[in-house]
Amino acid sequence: MDYFKELYNLLDNCDKSQDIPVSALLVNSNSEIVAKSYNTRKLNNNISEHAEINVINELISNISYQNLSEYTLYTTLKPCTMCTGAIEQVKIRKVFYYVENKFNTYESPNIEYIHLRNEKNIDLYVKKLQNCFKKLR
């Protein structure tokens, strides 16, 4: 499964709403994607609607269960402090990410972080992020 491609395709939604392009997936123990989401902070004018929190809420509302210790999170950008708290709340233990987050450096000791730095199309995403931050300045 090409998780990066799935994540990248979700970013069109952020482009439309001019949200910072971040998307996230939850994957079960069979490597199947069970939830997808993206940053909707600006779209819905809600500071907690980061991709990671959105994807967690989507899955827990579908399964009516809040312990996600069996699931793995994939996100384009390393989770911020707020999302790290949410990830801990639902007991997700493993987080895969593609790009480091310069603005948030808090790492939970309860979470194993795996930086997927060898993704071949990562430059596409980095360019998209840089363009977005350029517009914000």
Q: Is 83 in the site for Zn ion (CB under 5 A)?
A: yes
Among 50, 77, 87, 97, which residue sits at the site for Zn ion (rule: CB under 5 A)? 50
Residue 52 designated active-site: yes
23 contacts: CB under 8 Å, gap ≥ 6:
7, 8, 10, 11, 13, 14, 36, 37, 38, 39, 51, 75, 76
**Length of the chain in terms of residues written:** 137
Residues 51, 35: Cα–Cα separation, whole Å: 11
Among 14, 20, 77, 80, which residue sits at the site for Zn ion (rule: CB under 5 A)? 80
CB of 81 to Zn ion, least distance (A): 8
CB of 131 to Zn ion, least distance (A): 20
Contacting residues toward Zn ion, per CB under 5 A: 50, 80, 82-83
Active-site amino acid positions: 52
